[in-house]
């Protein structure tokens, strides 16, 4: 079995063609087959698919990185997991072969991951077919994780467990076979695991930090009709953040695309790595990609069938500072392709520090809040919202920097006052016109705080329009 390092970067010299990214699933991850009549014992020891996991050194030696579901350190209970299908860009993909993931609906089926470190993250899938899993470390109390979400998000962080002792641990994921009332199925997907992972913000194609020039359009029924010769189906729901509209005639989200020579998009971001998520397809063209205006990497997006949510390009090892990623349509194409189409679906930005989700016990909510919103591509699946004036979210943290991760768009149009350690800092209006959809967006950042305990307070100022608390990021 092959062990992959964190955030695989397929970077070629300028002028070379690349065709990277994972494989995928179907229009939704395929439903598993008929469950076995005898599910595995919840208390037994599941077989190891890849042999005995290696000793990672025990003690306090951390082994950071990404570990695929096929790694020797991962064990899946025999006979109760099956591969997902191949239309989505699962983790572990390369230029020559798509990535894979495993899924199950069998009550009691388990996946275990043995690692050494103080933090672990499960990478999987969330959508309307997803069920409920039980997650535990070293046989401790289980945490129920509901994987249901309105948009179809694959290769996505499911849950991050921090603050573990610096030693060897075992993470266990157990399929409960249960689902909430809105879910269509009870699928649980295991795609990969990250050890000592940094913060990842999954920004949509229409984030306000992405500036488009030219004729880019959204993938939805209005602009991607059934007459498209390359793929005659509206696939808006297969792209990250897609298939969900605030109002019936509003944008479905999804991806942006263009075919015109010279059209470009530039994302301005702060972080240590950047990933462009798009998709290969039968009418895919060639894009030129640059980071900070540097050397050009040519990315060939042709593929014999349409794929979704694939990694097309990534760049790691950046300084924790402001950068730009620019994608430009070259008008060139593979000899066998039907066109020059380029898709921009999302961007992943990584930053150092620790992310605290909206349900962290260090957050105090006052006033009226709606908890557990799962209607968009939120960090680890859900967020909290308020449209009641005077409602507050107060986050207590220890560090020298903090960020509020939330939402800015037409329906997230609340106005928030920001206080650090009780002192007013600024007021922020979160309204943005359609089709802007800024999920997992850094709305406010404070750096240079004195080391120690601080508070960040967000206070809603209006009774119309929501403010969103998705997460808080802390730097030491």
Query: Does 354-475 match 17-197 at the fold level?
Result: yes
Average pLDDT over residues 369-393: 97
Query: Token match 């879910």: residue?
Result: 183
- Could you report the per-residue pLDDT of 121-164, keeping only the tens digit for each? 999 999 999 999 999 999 999 999 999 999 999 999 999 999 99
Residue 122: count of CB within 10 angstroms of its CB: 24
pLDDT confidence band for 219 (50 / 70 / 90):
confident
For the chain, the domains span: 17-197, 204-351, 354-475
Q: Distance (Å, rounded) from C-alpha 334 to C-alpha 56?
A: 44
Is the distance from CB of 252 to CB of 221 less than 8 angstroms?
yes
How does DSSP classify residue 54?
A: P
Instruction: Please state the φ and ψ torsions of residue 73, each to the nearest 5 degrees.
Output: -85, -5
Radius of gyration of the CA atoms of the chain, in A:
22
Q: What order of strands is seen across the sheet that includes strand 192-195? A: 65-68, 192-195, 120-126, 153-161
Residue 225 has pLDDT above 90, yes or no: no
- In CATH terms, 17-197 corresponds, of 2.60.40.10, 3.30.390.50, 3.30.470.20, 2.60.120.260, to 2.60.120.260
Q: Which residues are CB-contacts of 138 (< 8 A; sequence separation ≥ 6)?
A: 169, 170
DSSP bridge partners of 287: 299, 329
Instruction: Please state the φ and ψ torsions of residue 465, each to the nearest 5 degrees.
Output: 85, 140
pLDDT confidence band for 253 (50 / 70 / 90):
confident
pLDDT at position 244? 83
Q: Which residues are CB-contacts of 37 (< 8 A; sequence separation ≥ 6)?
A: none
pLDDT at position 61? 72
Q: Distance (Å, rounded) from C-alpha 358 to C-alpha 364?
A: 10
CATH 3.40.640.10 describes domain 204-351: no
Mean pLDDT score of the chain? 86
pTM of the model: 0.85
DSSP bridge partners of 348: 202, 275
- Contacts of 81-85 with C-beta under 8 Å, sequence gap 24+, read 81/32, 81/109, 81/111, 81/190, 82/32, 82/33, 84/24, 84/25, 84/29, 84/30, 84/125, 84/189, 85/24, 85/25, 85/26, 85/29, 85/30
Is the distance from CB of 323 to CB of 291 less than 8 angstroms?
yes
Is the distance from CB of 331 to CB of 249 less than 8 angstroms?
no
CA distance to 111, 220, 233, per residue, from 224 (Å): 39, 5, 8
Q: What order of strands is seen across the sheet that includes strand 437-446? A: 354-357, 471-475, 401-409, 437-446
Average pLDDT over residues 215-222: 74
Provide the token pair at 179: 């689902």
Q: Distance (Å, rounded) from C-alpha 127 to C-alpha 243?
A: 11
Average pLDDT over residues 77-82: 96
Local structure of 2: helix, strand or coil: coil
Average pLDDT over residues 98-108: 94
**Nearest-CA neighbor of 57 among 16, 99, 115, 4?**
115
pLDDT at position 175? 98
Which superfamily does CATH assign the domain made up of 354-475 to? Galactose-binding domain-like (2.60.120.260)
pLDDT confidence band for 20 (50 / 70 / 90):
very low
Average pLDDT over residues 191-215: 97
Residue 230 has pLDDT above 70, yes or no: no
Is the distance from CB of 166 to CB of 60 less than 8 angstroms?
yes
Q: Which residues are CB-contacts of 350 (< 8 A; sequence separation ≥ 6)?
A: 7, 198, 199, 200, 201, 271, 272, 273, 274
């Amino acid at each position: 079995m092959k062990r992959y390092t964190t955030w695989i970067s397929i970077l070629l010299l300028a002028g070379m063609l690349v065709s990277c990214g994972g494989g995928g699933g179907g229009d939704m991850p395929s439903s598993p087959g008929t469950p076995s009549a005898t599910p595995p014992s919840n208390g037994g020891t599941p077989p190891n698919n890849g042999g005995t996991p290696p000793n990672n050194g025990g003690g306090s030696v951390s082994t950071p990185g990404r570990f695929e579901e096929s790694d020797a350190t991962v064990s899946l209970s025999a006979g109760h997991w099956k591969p997902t299908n191949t239309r989505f860009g699962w983790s572990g993909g390369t230029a020559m072969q798509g990535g894979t993931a495993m899924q199950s609906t069998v009550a009691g089926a388990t996946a275990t991951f043995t690692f050494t470190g103080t933090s672990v993250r499960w990478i999987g899938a969330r959508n309307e077919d997803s069920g409920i899993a039980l997650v535990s470390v070293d046989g401790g109390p289980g945490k129920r994780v509901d994987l249901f979400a309105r948009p179809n998000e694959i290769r996505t962080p499911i849950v991050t467990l921090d603050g573990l002792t610096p030693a060897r641990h075992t993470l266990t994921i157990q399929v409960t076979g249960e689902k909430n009332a809105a879910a269509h199925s009870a699928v649980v997907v295991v795609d990969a695991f990250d050890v000592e992972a940094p913060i990842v913000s999954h920004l949509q194609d229409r984030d306000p930090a992405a500036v488009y020039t030219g004729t880019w359009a959204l993938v939805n029924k209005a602009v991607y009709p059934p007459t498209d010769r390359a793929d005659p189906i509206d696939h808006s729901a297969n792209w990250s953040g897609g298939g969900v509209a605030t109002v019936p005639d509003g944008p479905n989200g999804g991806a942006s695309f263009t075919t015109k020579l010279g059209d470009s998009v530039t994302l301005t971001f702060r972080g240590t790595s950047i990933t462009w998520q798009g998709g290969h397809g039968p009418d895919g063209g060639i894009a030129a990609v640059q980071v900070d205006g540097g050397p050009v990497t040519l990315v060939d997006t042709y593929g014999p069938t349409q794929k979704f949510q694939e990694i097309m390009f990534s760049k790691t090892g950046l300084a924790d500072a402001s950068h730009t990623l620019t994608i430009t349509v070259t008008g060139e194409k593979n000899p066998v392709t039907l066109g020059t189409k380029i898709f921009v679906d999302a961007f992943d930005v990584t930053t150092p520090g620790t992310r605290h989700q909206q349900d962290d016990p260090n957050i105090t909510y006052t006033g009226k809040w709606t908890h557990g919103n799962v209607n968009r591509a939120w960090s680890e699946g859900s967020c909290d919202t308020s449209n009641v004036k005077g409602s507050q979210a107060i986050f207590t943290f220890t560090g020298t920097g903090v960020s509020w991760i939330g939402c800015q768009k037409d329906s997230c149009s609340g106005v928030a006052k920001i206080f650090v350690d009780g002192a007013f800092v600024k007021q922020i209006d979160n309204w943005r016109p359609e089709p802007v959809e800024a999920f997992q967006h850094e709305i406010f950042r404070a750096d240079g705080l004195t080391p120690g305990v601080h508070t960040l307070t967000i206070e809603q100022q209006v009774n119309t329009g929501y403010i969103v608390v998705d997460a808080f990021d802390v730097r030491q």
